[in-house]
Structure 1
Amino acid sequence: MSAVDLPVQADAKGVAERIPGLWKPPIVMSVFTILVALLVLVSPREGDSTFRWSREGDWFAIPDVSLPANGIVWAAVLLCLLCTAFAAWRSYSRLKTPLVVIAAFAVFAVSGFLAWAVAGKTLPVVGLLAGALALAVPLVFGALGGVVGERAGVVNIAIDGQLLFGAFGAAITASITGSPWAGLVAAMVAGMLVALLLGLFAITYWVEQVIVGVVLNVLVIGFTSFMFSQVLSGNAGALNNPPHFPRLEIPLLSGIPVLGPIFFRQTVLVYVMYAAVFLVAWALYRSKWGLRVRAVGEHPKAADTVGIDVIATRYRTVLLAGAIVGIGGATYTLVSVPSFGREMTGGAGYIALAAVIFGKWDPIKATLAALLFGFASNVESVLSVIGSPVPSQFMLMLPYVVTIFAVAGLVGHSRAPAADGVPYRKG
């Protein structure tokens, strides 16, 4: 080893030692590994777990897979231990745990839990994943809107209010016009209205952005609840009976086993989501607009000195983010449920905000985080239908428990844009 290499290695080690949160992944993984092992130690299940991989309409049928439930759980525990040991070794070496290791651990842990929960029954894997994708749609749009707004330096706690107001606007407009497309446009406008209020107080009047977001959420809940009880309840047939987007099957692609039913037998809003994720990711990192947005979010004063209008850029970006989140709100009343209901989002906006943090303000990673939370929500529904031994109260908590552990335990060091939440005062 040359003398020149020593300072470089020492400096690299010093940088690694300053990285916070290195031990979070192995600690959280250890906890989950113990929990999975306790399933068979405390409450072993007899019988085989059957996993169904095919649906009617596939090009060819994939045979069901049946394996001993306890054997799958112990295999999952072993694989989880290997992942945990690797993560601990990386942390001991002052290195980050690779995302692929964390993802593999999650797959093994979830597989062990599902095998234990469906012992003696059949789990429709394709239905589970397709439903998870559908449930994740509003979370993905909420997360994309959160990423776009915060990249410009505006904290958007009001995602839940935008989702709820978007669902409200979509229900009324689609009911009156008889067109779900009109409802979709109304949902985007509704999301932009909430975003305009956020921008007015946060950008123009420099009000604390977190407080503004919380107040807007409460305001939207109060307004929509009042309108529901005073207007919609008495005129449900005319004002709260929106037509829904039909499920569209993409020719050829929808027949691919496993992938076809999951990705290509969905409603049009799912296909819009695919395009939105691609466009937001491309625009943020490959376009002049994205460069300006990121510059405003990182160093607004420097952006101002090179001729970028910081205030106008933030307003335009926040309004765009509101329109994106509004599309997610339309999913509730134009796809998921037959009509608008009080507080029907159930706090999904806060989970979308957690996906933004878990995804480290990156549109692709935030989308993956939203899909994870959507999967956790659908697991509760599917296991309830097939008769899982897990108490229903715990299953209702599952999406929120996954959110807490993911953000607090696995996110590691996450840096928001430097000027996120900081009002810009020109001059």
Structure 2
Amino acid sequence: MNTEYVIAFLASTAGAATPLVLASSGELVAERSGVLNLGLEGIMLVGAVAGFSATLRTGSLTIGLLAALAAGVAMSLIFGFLVLTLQTNQVATGLALTLFGTGLSAFLGRDLVGQTVAPIARLSFPVLSDIPFLGPLLFRFDSIVYLSLILVAAIGYLLARTRLGLQIRAVGEAPHSAHAIGMSVVKLRYACVLFGGAMAGVGGAYMSLALTPMWVEGMVAGRGWIALAQVVFATWKPRGLVVGAYLFGGVTVLQFHGQGMGIDVPSQFLAMLPYLATIVILVIICRDPKTILLNKPMSLGQNFKAD
């Protein structure tokens, strides 16, 4: 195994992990406020088709990403209105949102199949990008890869070190107590849900604008569910999201390399490896309930209504 192969593998892993980092980061913020959004898969699909369509029509990747962000906010606003204002069941509403997003994205993208756009350009840093091994490994990614890692660090700082982060955690742990001391529980949860939707939309757009710069129906392929699982894998801690996302990204890339090297294993088995690895890891983690309960928001999935 030569150096070029290792660099290519690790660089591909970063690309495959980025949409998961984005989607799971937004979902973590929503869940820390006490809201469980199972509609990530649908939101990512709508974000993917919105970002691709806007980029195709305008030629601007920036507009495409903004369109995906707006689409994610719009989808999460539907979810927020139903669960936070109308007090519907969070689990059932999230599942319905995934079904809605899957159908809506297929409808909106019916005329986009087969078309392509220029992928997001990779950055090049003077001197740094030319360092042997480390240059192509650390300093030749597109801007979204770097922004996703900065986002995780910012969320970690916000939740642990700021007043707003304390309020989010308080609303997630004890919403009635937070309401009693004057916090606007519903407004804060709305903001967290909309942020989660925005990040899921951008995560979906990264797939259609960077990983495979084209629109394919159902292209998210379960990554919305994986992002949800990663929040549990990380035990609701931001730094754990990066580990989970890059682990999944590595296994995803590994199956492609395995097929390329002609490994005598059915392609269907290789394709299921990333999801199988996620299930195994979750089973291992959930064997110790204390690990899960340590950071799980106490009101997660529970609706709040002011008395």
CA distance in 2, matches of 1:194, 1:286: 30
- Indicate the RMSD between aligned Cα atoms, in angstroms: 1.5
Q: Which residue of 2 aligns with 1:52?
A: 2
Could you say what secondary structure the match of 2:126 adopts?
coil
Percent identical: 35
Aligned to 2:149: 274
**Corresponding position of 2:29:** 148
1:310 aligns with 2:191: no
What letter corresponds to residue 92 of structure 2 in structure 1? I
The answer as to whether partners of 2:173 and 2:297 remain within 8 angstroms in 1 is yes
Q: Which structure 1 residue ranges, 5 or more long, are not aligned?
A: 1-50, 56-123
- Alignment pair present for 1:393 and 2:268: yes
Q: Which one-letter code corresponds to 2:292 in the other structure?
A: S
| 1:324 shift after superposition | 1.5
1:224 aligns with 2:105: yes
Q: Helix, strand or coil: the match of 1:156?
A: coil
Give the TM-score normalised by structure 2. Answer: 0.94
Determine which of 250, 255, 258 is the counterpart of 1:380: 255
Structure 1 residue aligned with 2:84 = 203
Bigger-Rg structure (1/2):
1
Give me the whole-angstrom Cα distance separating, in 1, the residues matched to 2:94 and 2:152: 24
Q: SS of the residue aligned with 2:123?
A: strand
TM-score scaled to structure 1, two decimals? 0.68
SS of equivalent to 1:339: coil
Q: Structure 2: where are the runs of 5+ without partners?
A: none
Tell me the CA shift for residue 217 of structure 1: 0.7
* Equivalent in 284, 299, 307 of residue 419 of structure 1: 299
What do residues 324-347 of structure 1 show as CA deviations (whole Å, max 9, x unaligned)? Answer: 122211111211113211111001
Deviation at 1:401, TM superposition (A): 0.7
Q: 1:201·1:212 contact (CA, 8 Å) conserved in 2? A: yes
Q: Find the counterpart in structure 2 of residue 163 from structure 1.
A: 44
- What is the CA distance between 1:215 and its match in structure 2? 0.6
Larger proportion of strand: 1
Q: 2:118 aligns with which of 239, 243, 257?
A: 243
Deviation at 1:382, TM superposition (A): 1.1
Partner deviation per Cα, 1:84-126 (whole Å, 9 max, x = no partner): xxxxxxxxxxxxxxxxxxxxxxxxxxxxxxxxxxxxxxxx122
Is 1:136 aligned to residue 17 of structure 2?
Answer: yes
Shift of 1:245: 1.3
Distance in 2 (CA, whole Å) between partners of 1:198 and 1:367 is 26
Q: Which residue of 1 aligns with 2:58?
A: 177
Partner amino acid for 1:264? F
Amino acid at match of 2:82: F
For 1:190, which of 53, 59, 71 is the aligned residue? Answer: 71
Mapped contact 1:384–1:392 kept (Cα < 8 A) = yes
Residues 348-375 of structure 1: CA deviation (Å, up to 9, x unaligned): 0001111111001111102211111111
Moved over 6 A (4+): none
Alpha-carbon offset, residue 323 of structure 1: 1.2
Q: CA deviation at 1:286?
A: 1.1
Q: What CA distance in whole angstroms lies between the structure 2 residues aligned with 1:220 and 1:214?
A: 10
Tell me which residue corresponds to 2:212. 337
Does the C-alpha gap of structure 1 residues 232 and 389 become closer, same or farther in structure 2, counting only changes over 3 Å? Answer: closer
State the 1:212 CA deviation.
0.8
Is the CA contact (8 Å cut-off) linking 1:187 and 1:327 kept in structure 2? yes
1:410 positional shift: 3.3
Give the match's secondary structure for 2:265.
Answer: coil
Contact 2:49 2:108 in 1 (8 A): no
In structure 2, the CA distance between the partners of 1:410 and 1:251, relative to structure 1 (3 Å rule), is farther
Point out which structure has higher relative CO (alpha carbons under 8 A, 6+ apart). Answer: 2
Shift of 1:296: 0.5
Aligned residue pairs, count: 302
